[in-house]
Structure 1
Amino acid sequence: DYYFNAVEIRRSFPSSLHLVDSAGRVFEQIPLNPSDYCPYSATGNYTGGVVYAHYGRPEDFNWLRSVGVLAAGHLVVMRVGGGVSFAEKVWLAERNGGGGALIYPDPADLPQDPRRLGLNAHTAVSEHVTERKPERLLNTLELTSDSPGLPLIPALPITATVAAKLLSQLSGPPCPPSWRGRLPYVRCVLGPDFGSGRRVRLSVQNLMTPVLLNNIFSSLEGREPDQYVILGAQRDSLGPGAVKSGVGTAILLELARTFSTMVKNGFSPRRSLLFVSWDAGDFGNVGATEWLEVYLSMLHLKAVAYFSLDQAIMGDDHLSASTSPLLVDLLDAAIRQVEHPKHAGQTIYSQAERDGGSWRIMKPLYLNSGAYSFTAFAGVPAMELRFTEDRAYPFLNTPLDTVPRLQEVLGGRLGVTGRSLAELVGEMVLRLVHDHILPLRITSYAQTVLQLSAQLNKHSAELQSRGVSPQWLFSARGDYSRAAETLQRAIDYSDLHDPNTARFYNTRIMKVEYYFLSQYVSAMETPFRHVIHGRGNHTLSALTEHLTLLTSDPGRFDENRFRRQLALFTWTLQGAANALNGDVWSMFNRF
């Protein structure tokens, strides 16, 4: 099956970078590769000094402010990596008053010696810079300069060579030692002065181009066809895309072939399987998110889980899983059964224990993940799995991301590594489509909220002095914990072979993730409504970040804002507890 939708995607005209004098006259043009661009960058020109902001993380901009270096009115140069997406870097640069963003790969992060499978100094890394997909209007996506999530400042990926040329001419306070990279001839300073009154002029001219999305679906119908497990991988890439899209697509096709063969040979899955090849992944997972927007109401209590196969193989040393905590038990069981691709005779679990603990495999969902929208936007438990190296895969999002280079990185083990990951996903999917009761850890979020409760307890005296009481949150957390434990005990002592009983409990289990989507914020203005994994003022991360201001910067603590954050989170948590209990009225009785 196919799903089509017309969208507009911001593509690029050649950008330019010039050095100008105090009068604005150009005295040097810096050569750029015309194919290097950031999808969705704002169009425009900006001239200013240069500020070096390390990885462009919140703490990096905070440190700059603490030493009196402001990004306002200047171009902000940031390094690829640091656990921050291009979109977040540009958004933070804009939020701090920067007039433009330049992002480069530093040799300290991505080795650049071609003889050691490194990224050469003349190659830039490209990535989109939108924090969300714009709203649907009349079955199209209309992207304008004021669309939510689109940056208002121009952004451009640059090479290490260009970055060295700019940063070597900076003057200003010295960088902290941890900010020093490995660019040649660069004495690490923060800027913004650029020597002899010179400035840098950035010009980005992007064009909105209508394109037709083409998501491709294949399904295997189960005995309960209205409940299904989804597997997906993006099909597009800005470059050759061996890692970005090729490996994930190959694993997706192989899993579809394998399960189809099982069904032909007599296997009858309880739940349905849906295999999806997504379009426009490199433009912010547009294909997947667009489909989610259309079918969001249908997904509730139908989609059991989603597995993203994007960027699945970047090495063969370590497995990482960005996941909803509801799927942790499934993963733990699977890694005990599948052989490690690099260590024959050892499971992934046993090797992880040797490396310092299998818990290191589990990571939170992140904004640029192919799985993120399913949980943060649609309330479906999701996971993205990946094998990696100790040394970062340097060619991702570049024209050098080819199969021969990936094979060389893996020492020719691409096939066996792909097989291990496919077996891992297959084991988890098999349980989800076969077991009477969905093997999801419904008590997992109780521990997450317990950690917040501990932080609130540390600040209880200060909060009480300001007239703020976290008592309702403690009550909601207790209600959720009891509801989850009660449901789990009821499942443990029930006849799960009775179809009606199993379906009753599975329906309750499938509500858990969905009811962590806040009903108290606008889905249009705040699409990632999940209070744990989402983005916005209603989330746990926003609440805890604001709470830390009580000790780090009390003057910036806003009592009214904190009360609202606490209320939004508490109401959502209490609603999840009531839904788990099957009690839709107690919330209104209590508040």
Structure 2
Amino acid sequence: MKESGESKKTRRLDPSATATGGASSAHLLFVGLILPFILILLSFTASPPSKATYHSLFLTLANNATAARHLHALTRRPHVAGTPANADVAAYVRNALSAASFSVHTASYDVLLSYPVRRSLVLSPSPRPSSSPSIAFDLVQEIYPGDPYAAAAAEAVPSFLAYARSGSAAGPVVYANYGRVEDFATLKALGVNVTGAVVLARYGKIFRGDIIKNAEDAGAAAAVVYTDAKDYCEDKRWFPEGPGMPPSGVQVGTTYRGLGDPTTPGWPSTAGCERLRAAELAASGLMPGIPSLPVSARDGEAIHKTVGGEVAPDDWQGGERGPIYRLGPGPGFLNLTYIGNETIATIENVIAVIEGKEEPDRYVILGNHRDAWTFGAVDPNSGTAALLEVAERLVKLQKRGWRPRRTIVVCNWDAEEYGLIGSTEWVEENREILASRAIAYLNADCPVRGPGFHASATPQLDALLKEATKRKVQDPDNFSQTVYDSWISSNDSPLASCSIGRLGGGGTDFAAFIQHAGVPSADMCFGEGYPVYHSLYDDFVWMQKFGDPLFHKHVAVASIWGLVALRLADDEFLPFDYISYASELQQNTKILEDGMSGMPVNFDPLNKSIEELKKAAIHIDNQRKATEMEAGLLGWTKDLRKVRELNDMLMMAERAFTDREGLPQRQWYKHLIYGPSLHDDYGSKSFPGLDDAIEKAKSLNTSDSWYFVQHEVWRVARVVKQASLVLKGKLT
């Protein structure tokens, strides 16, 4: 592997070498007395390297061999949260950060985790098993010939869905496509009865916990979720010959629809804390109410072959090589049993700190989780390896004299896979101090998946992300251009700029920062979905062969991640853009208005608030420019009190978009501008509470339902106005 870095060669001046060969006394006097004085004088007058110089140096310190070494060490064994193997990986991360001279500590929490005890799934071609042979699925992910991790694979937790309801259920099979609300509405419209059935749904569109919830709401007795070959291995080039999911591969994961420890919603799971009782937990609506299991594409196809009834719509069908999908119910009949063990276990967040010099009480936070359902080469440890790469480069900068203006905090989270537990508990414990001190949170969950750079962020960080990709960070798939150049060319329209998504959903660890605490946040990765997600085959071999053979993507994401962090930590004025934020809110409001033509809703309060936000954003931008120009023209040092004041306004504006009451039915989510969809925790919505209210009003069409829509318009308008007041920095 190619290692890059700056040359270690240095040039030395040896004054004694010039004082030979019959040198004159004047020359000796100059060398012996005057030259040293000049050198000392120069040492006092020479300017130290600029922050920009250090940022450029950061890029030259990239080392793909280091990233590969870290990933190999992190993925030797499956390491699900709460197990000794995951504790060993935590120790590795802690030792790596300590060896890099970080100040490191562990933040531990006692949380509710879930593990499988017994599973079974039996398929009968009819409801009378005695009349025809049945199939008892082995529910095992197969080891491929020559697998170097075969022995370690035996340590993997059997395929299951965390927090699935324990129990047994039996019923005829009903096929529900991706298990979305609209899919169950289609079944109802076609006269397919889901009550008492076992729903068969495929992964691919929404969060698995929402699939189970939607099946439960439709009256199903149980649910089976499978990985359809059409979505995960259509060309049959499955691992290890190709990147696709093998026929026996199973996507595991959580079904908990909340965030954090289920027993401590809204407060940290510290020792001796208050916890919900089992009855309260069951009544929360966030835990699944029916048993469920995940199965492979092969098992899903076998079930499909026993389903009769009407042929499913064209867009519900699988690949060309598979059977014709029908809706049911039956005659295929499933008998499902799942028994789980839910227990309080200790998890460990590893926290490392580089203290800022001028503003140590302002935090730029980088984070990635460590726990994995199996080996976790992509999810999450490509991010852990990149995080350690960033950390090592920062320490090398320190050794060359760099000190950040603001404090940088590096976080390695635990138990993310169960429901973002480690990061959520930490944010809940530190909520008030983060509210007053956190500049931004930068996340990279599984940042190396495939080709193409992707980013999501709160809008004030868009320009900063784009600028970082321009800074000589080579596209790992095409060294002739920068990541930015490739990013631009990937858009459908030649006039389009880089497409940056929004952090509405709760898919990973940014959620607690933006949704609960109102901290500006970003997430970044190369590639989008990858076929062996959450399966036994997400291992180092897959990464070497298909994900990032030369580990150039690991280096590139570390470079972008680090550059954004350096700008936030070092820039005198925070590089936040609220003018574009306000413009986006105007666009999103217009989309809502256009879709609500003729409805009894007045958007004027929201439009007026956004207009005030835009004026405030322009005003603070002009203040920043005036402060810089005044210092430049007069040769003065900037008024540090004024700089701090403006930065605090920029930092706190995002907090103002939160509301203490939170979203209706989802009070933990405080952000009213961007949030998850009500029916898909992975999905992102603009004005999520308002969007939910509109959806409900359209279905009910009552005066009360439209009144509630108007109420949500006012709520959003109020938080937008609060943000404009923060940017103005004056009391009304």
User: Secondary structure of the equivalent of 2:715?
Assistant: helix
User: Secondary structure of the equivalent of 2:611?
Assistant: helix
Residue among 273, 284, 303 paired with 1:139: 273
User: Secondary structure of the equivalent of 1:50?
Assistant: strand
Residue aligning to 2:59: none
How far apart in 2 are the matches of 1:359 and 1:77?
40
Residue aligning to 1:76: 199
Residue aligning to 1:30: 137
How far residue 541 of structure 1 moved from its aligned partner, in angstroms, is 3.1
Moved more, 59-68 or 18-27: 18-27
Residue among 555, 559, 572 paired with 2:706: 559
Residue among 313, 333, 336 paired with 2:470: 336
Residue aligning to 2:323: 186
Q: Deviations over 1:48-90 (max 9, x none)?
A: 22222222233333333333335443222222222x2222322
What's the % identity of the aligned pairs? 26
How far apart in 1 are the matches of 2:221 and 2:497?
41
User: Secondary structure of the equivalent of 2:484?
Assistant: helix
Residue aligning to 2:624: 491
Residue among 206, 210, 214 paired with 1:88: 210
Are 1:372 and 2:502 counterparts?
no
Moved more, 535-544 or 130-139: 535-544
Are 1:528 and 2:676 counterparts?
no
How far residue 177 of structure 1 moved from its aligned partner, in angstroms, is 1.4
How far residue 481 of structure 1 moved from its aligned partner, in angstroms, is 2.0
Are 1:167 and 2:289 counterparts?
no
Residue aligning to 1:568: 715
Moved more, 212-221 or 84-93: 84-93
Residue aligning to 1:16: 120
Judging changes above 3 Å, is the alpha-carbon distance between structure 1 residues 564 and 43 closer, same or farther for their aligned structure 2 residues? Answer: farther
Residue aligning to 1:388: 527
Is the CA contact (8 Å cut-off) linking 2:662 and 2:672 kept in structure 1? Answer: no
Residue aligning to 2:108: 4
Which residue identity does 1:131 align to in structure 2?
R
Residue among 280, 283, 286 paired with 1:149: 286
How far apart in 2 are the matches of 1:348 and 1:453?
32
Q: TM-score, normalised by structure 1?
A: 0.90
User: Secondary structure of the equivalent of 1:346?
Assistant: strand
Residue aligning to 2:484: 349
Moved more, 296-305 or 53-62: 53-62
How far residue 30 of structure 1 moved from its aligned partner, in angstroms, is 3.0
Is the CA contact (8 Å cut-off) linking 2:662 and 2:669 kept in structure 1? Answer: no
Q: Deviations over 1:160-189 (max 9, x none)?
A: 111112111112222221221128542112
User: Secondary structure of the equivalent of 2:109?
Assistant: strand
How far residue 498 of structure 1 moved from its aligned partner, in angstroms, is 2.2
Q: Deviations over 1:362-418 (max 9, x none)?
A: 1222321222221112211111111117xx5222211111111111004622x2111
How far residue 150 of structure 1 moved from its aligned partner, in angstroms, is 1.8
Judging changes above 3 Å, is the alpha-carbon distance between structure 1 residues 401 and 535 closer, same or farther for their aligned structure 2 residues? Answer: closer
Is the CA contact (8 Å cut-off) linking 1:241 and 1:402 kept in structure 2? Answer: yes
How far apart in 2 are the matches of 1:523 and 1:178?
33
Superposed, 1:423-502 pairs within 5 Å as 423-458=559-594, 462-463=598-599, 466=600, 468-495=601-628, 497-502=638-643
How far apart in 2 are the matches of 1:456 and 1:215?
41
Which residue identity does 1:204 align to in structure 2?
Y
How far apart in 2 are the matches of 1:524 and 1:563?
17
CA RMSD of aligned residues (A): 2.8
Residue aligning to 2:538: 401
Q: Deviations over 1:115-147 (max 9, x none)?
A: 323221111111111122222464376564334
Are 1:363 and 2:508 counterparts?
no
How far residue 295 of structure 1 moved from its aligned partner, in angstroms, is 0.5
How far apart in 1 are the matches of 2:130 and 2:640?
78
Q: Deviations over 1:536-564 (max 9, x none)?
A: 88971342355467878857992233233
Q: TM-score, normalised by structure 2?
A: 0.73
Is the CA contact (8 Å cut-off) linking 1:7 and 1:141 kept in structure 2? Answer: no
Residue among 31, 46, 49 paired with 2:172: 49
Judging changes above 3 Å, is the alpha-carbon distance between structure 1 residues 264 and 158 closer, same or farther for their aligned structure 2 residues? Answer: same
Structure 2: 5+ residue runs without aligned partners?
Answer: 1-104, 141-156, 632-637, 679-684
Judging changes above 3 Å, is the alpha-carbon distance between structure 1 residues 411 and 442 closer, same or farther for their aligned structure 2 residues? Answer: closer
Residue aligning to 1:507: 648
How far apart in 2 are the matches of 1:523 and 1:264?
51
User: Secondary structure of the equivalent of 2:382?
Assistant: helix
Q: Which has the higher contact order (CA 8 A, sep 6+)?
A: 2
Is the CA contact (8 Å cut-off) linking 1:242 and 1:401 kept in structure 2? Answer: yes
Moved more, 349-358 or 543-552: 543-552
Which residue identity does 2:488 align to in structure 1?
E
Q: Deviations over 1:410-468 (max 9, x none)?
A: 4622x2111111111111111111101111122333233313432454367623xx4x4
How far apart in 1 are the matches of 2:696 and 2:111?
42
Judging changes above 3 Å, is the alpha-carbon distance between structure 1 residues 557 and 397 closer, same or farther for their aligned structure 2 residues? Answer: farther
How far residue 100 of structure 1 moved from its aligned partner, in angstroms, is 2.3
How far apart in 1 are the matches of 2:717 and 2:314?
42
How far residue 535 of structure 1 moved from its aligned partner, in angstroms, is 4.2
How far residue 297 of structure 1 moved from its aligned partner, in angstroms, is 0.8
Moved more, 540-549 or 51-60: 540-549
How far apart in 2 are the matches of 1:418 and 1:530?
32
Is the CA contact (8 Å cut-off) linking 1:78 and 1:102 kept in structure 2? Answer: yes
Residue aligning to 1:321: 455
Judging changes above 3 Å, is the alpha-carbon distance between structure 1 residues 461 and 354 closer, same or farther for their aligned structure 2 residues? Answer: closer
Q: Deviations over 1:286-334 (max 9, x none)?
A: 101110110011101311111112111012x201112221211111101
Moved more, 392-401 or 422-431: 392-401
Are 1:297 and 2:404 counterparts?
no
Which residue identity does 2:354 align to in structure 1?
L
How far apart in 2 are the matches of 1:105 and 1:145?
28
Which residue identity does 1:67 align to in structure 2?
L
Which residue identity does 1:533 align to in structure 2?
Y
Moved more, 353-362 or 398-407: 353-362
How far residue 517 of structure 1 moved from its aligned partner, in angstroms, is 1.1
How far residue 248 of structure 1 moved from its aligned partner, in angstroms, is 1.2
